[in-house]
């Protein structure tokens, strides 16, 4: 059983002797400190006996060294009959003590300086992330152009598999979500417009919102959460298992093999899913209009045909390839940045989703301002 360290003073001998007993370890650190506070301020006039000393670790040796001084501790390594490993520990602590400041507490900074430091670190991190993203975009475009005119390097099988995973398998969730959102938009729009006797304009609200914004935006956000995370996890796991290193050893290009099929699959799938989302959202709005507003499906379709220009459909659909490209790029980049641990893969997967959603919303806002200024 572990016995707390103690100091026994014997004044019957000349010179007076201090005998160290028990375990001088981190477990008994507080008890040992209390023992030393009851001892004389200096141990210079006493001889030290370590023959009854129990277990000893770095914490106990450092506490002893601070009490008697590093020079005296160094002398003990020559005068005491102790095991070799214990002498080596005391000698190491004695050599290190002179280099440890008396007060090793970290310097305190003003709160304003700490805030500025955190802001500067965050800005630097964002700048590095932007540079990495732009560099990876350039690398992907370079690989795309190099493969474009060499059909033998096209990965048709991989492309088809990723189109199925990112596009075909995502149709149910896209249809369900956009249908429900379309119904909610129609219901809320009708509630507000009824106060002005303009319930019929609920059709315009649903059509404009889903053709220009909601169709592509909701689809892109869903794909960012569903597909960007999958890309990061897949590539991150391959990197953790050293499969990407094996690809390079075989003389293959990881960008061409892993990144391009995913980017092209997203750029094919997202416009198709956006079109489906537009139809589903408008269908949800039409259902609410028919059941609650007494707007027949024929009237609903007639208003769509006469009052809603087809340019709104083109504007919404034109955003889809850009959103798809940035989502796939971020997902693949975070996968290549992940380390060899499961935690690193998980952290970069979360980062890929957050960055993808942020970039999608940012690009959508920029596109909305551009189209507004152009009068489209």
Can you read off the two tokens belonging to residue 106? Answer: 């970290």
Give residue 42's pLDDT. Answer: 58
Query: Helices 111-148 and 311-337 meet at what angle, rounded to 10?
Result: 110
Would the pTM count as exceeding 0.75?
no
| Low-confidence residues of the chain: pLDDT under 50 | none
Q: Where in the chain is the domain with CATH 3.30.750?
A: 6-99
Q: Are 277 and 219 in contact (CB under 8 A)?
A: yes
Domain range 6-99, its CATH number among 3.30.70, 3.30.750, 1.20.950, 1.10.150 = 3.30.750
Give residue 278's pLDDT. Answer: 94
Please work out, in degrees rounded to the nearest 5, the angle formed at the alpha carbon of residue 144 by the alpha carbons of 139 and 147.
125
Q: Is the peptide bond before 15 cis (omega within 30 degrees of 0)?
A: yes
Give residue 373's pLDDT. Answer: 86
Give residue 326's pLDDT. Answer: 94
Can you read off the two tokens belonging to residue 370? Answer: 């551009």
Give residue 366's pLDDT. Answer: 92
> What is the C-alpha separation between 2 and 61, in angstroms, rounded?
17
Give residue 106's pLDDT. Answer: 58
């Amino acid at each position: 059983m572990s016995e707390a360290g103690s100091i026994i003073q014997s004044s019957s001998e000349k010179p007076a002797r201090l005998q160290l007993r028990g375990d001088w370890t981190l477990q008994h650190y507080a008890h040992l400190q209390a023992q030393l506070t009851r001892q004389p301020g200096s141990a210079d006039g006493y001889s030290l006996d370590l023959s009854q000393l129990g277990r000893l670790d770095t914490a106990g040796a450092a506490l002893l060294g601070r009490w008697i001084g590093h020079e005296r501790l160094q002398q003990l390594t020559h005068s005491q009959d102790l095991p070799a490993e214990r002498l080596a520990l005391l000698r190491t602590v004695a050599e290190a003590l002179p280099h440890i400041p008396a007060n090793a507490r970290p310097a305190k900074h003003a709160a304003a300086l700490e805030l500025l430091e955190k802001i500067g670190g965050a800005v630097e991190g964002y700048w590095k992330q932007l540079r990495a993203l732009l560099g990876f975009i350039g690398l992907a475009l370079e690989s795309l152009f190099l493969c474009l005119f060499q059909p033998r390097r096209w990965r048709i099988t991989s492309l088809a598999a990723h189109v199925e995973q990112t596009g075909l398998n995502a149709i149910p969730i896209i249809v369900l979500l956009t249908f429900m959102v379309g119904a909610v938009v129609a219901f809320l729009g009708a509630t507000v417009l009824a106060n002005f006797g303009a319930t019929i304009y609920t059709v315009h609200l649903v059509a404009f919102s889903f053709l220009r914004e909601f169709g592509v935006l909701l689809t892109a956000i869903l794909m960012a959460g569903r597909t960007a995370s999958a890309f990061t996890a897949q590539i991150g796991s391959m990197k953790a298992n050293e499969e990407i290193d094996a690809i390079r050893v075989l003389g293959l290009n990881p960008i061409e093999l892993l990144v391009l099929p995913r980017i092209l699959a997203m750029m094919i799938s997202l416009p198709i899913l956006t079109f489906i989302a537009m139809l589903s959202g408008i269908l949800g709005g039409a259902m609410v209009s028919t059941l609650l507003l007494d707007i027949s499906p024929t009237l609903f379709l007639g208003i769509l045909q006469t009052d809603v220009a087809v340019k709104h459909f083109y504007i919404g659909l034109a955003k889809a390839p850009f959103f798809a490209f940035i989502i796939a790029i971020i997902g693949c980049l975070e996968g290549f940045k992940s380390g060899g641990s499961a935690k690193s893969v998980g952290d970069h997967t979360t980062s890929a989703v957050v960055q993808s959603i942020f970039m999608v919303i940012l690009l959508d806002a920029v596109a909305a301002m551009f189209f507004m200024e152009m009068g489209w």
